[in-house]
Chain A
Amino acid sequence: MLDRVYEIFHEKMKDKGQGMGIGSALTSEFLMLSFLLIGTILVLRTANSTILGFGALIILAGVLFTVPTVFKVEKENTDSINLSSFYVALTLALLLIIFLGGI
């Protein structure tokens, strides 16, 4: 797949900017994956919790199966008020679960 990576991105970005656009999309894709990898290593190494470790591994596996992720990230970060509301509610719930349940 790695040898066709440019073609894949070219196909996905037909309606957007070409050339530099593809370059920056590729950069952000690699950055995203390396951030994720480092994050997973961090969680696995420092967290004392089995649930958290498994969660991190599952998320990593899930993301690796959906490569290229960068378009999905972009879709989840639009200016829509409903998406933001959803993430805010999710965060509030997550914070309460973490602090009260103590992962």
Chain B
Amino acid sequence: MLNNSTLIPLMVVLPLIMAILVNFLHQKDKSVKFISIVSLIVFVFIPVVTLYGVHLFSGHLRTGSFPEVSKILIPEVYMGIVYSYGAVQKILMVVLTILTGFSVLAVINKKMISGVYMAMIFISLAASSAIILADDIFNFFVFTEILVVAQAALVIAVQEAKSFKAAFKYMIFGTISGASILLGIALLLGSYGLLNITDLSHAIQAGGALTPIGLVAVALLTLGWLYESGLFPFHIIKSNIYENARPEISALLQVQSKFVLVAMALILFRVFSGYALLKSVILGFAIFTVVIGSVMALQQVELRKLLSFVAVSQAGLVAVGFGLGTPFGIAAGIFHAINDVLSMAILFFIASFVYDKFKTTKLDELGEGLQVVPLVGFVMLLATLAISGVPPFNSYQSEWRLIQASAQAGVPELGILVILLSVATFVAIIKAFYMIFMKPGSKVEVNKEVRGNLTKAIIVILILACLLIGLFPNMVYDPIYNFVVSLGV
């Protein structure tokens, strides 16, 4: 476990370097295109070849603390920033880099290429990688803030009044949540003198029951987590962001938020592992998000907005797995996050295709699409089945595990909730499918020039990936389960 792998920090450092590089190459589209594609291949390659392990920055080994002078409750502490790379991190990083690659290819294909835009995608990739890898709570905080700015910039790039407003709201609430995360970190630092998550969790366990200061820190960090993952009070802000970005970027944004949800929930659970109330609170917010998200999704008459609310409610479902608090539930939640980002990405790419082909995503105006683009319609039908948990697709495996986990945790009612949510998701998206592809009487003009071969290739690859995971779930699920058990949360 203690090989000081140099490849681990490269996952964060390389995207940052590339971001700076493509930023300087502004208006040199050919070189930006070349560099982006090459660096994306490298980004996908690094997580695959990296061995599990930890990286100690500047080589500071774990050393003895000085309990007699510093009142630190554990005998050994990490002196520097630590990145750790295990099974869950590997799977998340591979999915994240591949989906980022697809988004970047879609952006390049649309000739919207610009150095700054690409730089923002790379920065958001670097930030979310760092959030997934960081074992240091302050490093984690820094990258959440960077992620917020980068995501807001990606939305601002649409250059419409609505996207400016969405980005402004996102940043205003980002300031609140950032401040609350930092205040929580400050309180923990003041009480325990530690920033490393492993050490912090040991120290809190050694220290017994949480003090009131510790409890305030839990509340503040939970508020920050709700924002980063777009759960209940922040679901409108998050769905606004998804809705107002370009659809192929929304596909990327939802991956990032769901993986940040997973990473930060793991951090919360590791740090406050003995604190049962946190799990109940998370469960409460998760259920609320699921309910509101799915009800709002059913009401929408605009494809992108509908998908945004579906994405939010699915994030709630991931959080339900975490709220159960058992290793089985947490593993099922993480598994569902991975499955869901894949099928959600398909739907957002289809939205991107529909937007290019028909110049609108308003469901009332669309129709008869199946005669124009039969393949996309077929894949959308499959993706709808995939996201609402129909076998043999991947979400079936994770939702089934979620239901089983909730029965095992003694709350079978949650299993019914999960089933109801999949029904709601199915109804919402199949309505969109009907209105785009089958409804007679289309009011839109078909843009014949848009062939969208790349988008078609991407969605076919993704649906095949969904089918593959659905047929061989243990390939992904078993490493996750073993990882969660080894965390001992």
Contacts and interface: CB of A to CB of B under 8 A. Distances in A.
A84 B223 contact: no
Given A24-B431, A79-B236, A74 B296 contact: yes
A16 B223 CA distance: 36
Among B212, B237, B291, max chain A CB count under 10 A is at B291
B298 interface: yes
Contact of B292 (A27, A73, A79, A98): A73
A38 B416 contact: yes
B454 interface: no
Nearest to A46: B411
Contact of B295 (A32, A41, A90, A98): A32
16 contacts: A20-B431, A20-B435, A24-B428, A24-B431, A25-B299, A35-B291, A38-B417, A73-B292, A73-B296, A77-B292, A79-B165, A79-B240, A95-B223, A98-B277, A99-B219, A102-B277
Interface string A20-57: 11001101100110111011011001100000000000
A95 B222 contact: yes
B172 interface: yes
A10 to B, nearest CB: 16
A21 B431 CA distance: 10
A100 interface: yes
Contact of B301 (A21, A92, A99): A21
A42 B223 contact: no
B420 A34 contact: yes
A88 B296 contact: no
Interface string A67-89: 00010011001110101100110
B24 to A, nearest CB: 36
Contacts of A62: none
Interface in B134-180: 165-166, 169, 172-173, 176, 180
A3 to B, nearest CB: 23
B218 A99 contact: yes
Given A35-B420, A81-B169, A100 B219 contact: yes
B480 to A, nearest CB: 26
B431 A100 contact: no
Complex A-B, nearest 7 residue pairs according to Cβ-Cβ distance, in ascending order: A28-B298, A95-B219, A87-B233, A91-B233, A35-B291, A42-B413, A28-B295
Interface residues of A, number: 38
A102 B215 CA distance: 10
Nearest to B243: A79
A96 interface: yes
Chain A interface secondary structure, helix, strand, loop or mixed?
Answer: helix
A74 B299 contact: yes
A18 to B, nearest CB: 11
Chain B interface secondary structure, helix, strand, loop or mixed?
Answer: helix
B180 A92 contact: yes
A38 B413 contact: yes
Contact of A24 (B299, B411, B423): B299
Contacts of B222: 95, 99
B117 interface: no
Contacts of B411: 42, 46
Nearest to B215: A99
B102 interface: no
A41 to B, nearest CB: 6
Contact of A27 (B281, B298, B413): B298
Interface in B354-384: 364
Given A31-B298, A32-B291, A100-B219, A95 B281 contact: yes
Contacts of A31: 291, 294-295, 298, 420, 423-424
Contact of B237 (A73, A84, A90): A84
Interface in B378-431: 410-411, 413-414, 416-417, 420, 423-424, 427-428, 431
A17 B233 contact: no
Contacts of B232: 87, 91
B13 interface: no
A101 to B, nearest CB: 10
B424 to A, nearest CB: 5
A96 B219 contact: yes
B226 interface: yes
A25 B291 CA distance: 14
Given A31-B294, A84-B236, A39 B287 contact: yes
A77 B236 contact: yes
A78 B287 CA distance: 20
Given A31-B424, A74-B296, 17 more contacts: A20-B431, A28-B294, A28-B295, A31-B298, A31-B420, A35-B420, A39-B291, A42-B411, A42-B413, A73-B292, A84-B169, A84-B236, A88-B233, A91-B233, A96-B216, A98-B219, A99-B277
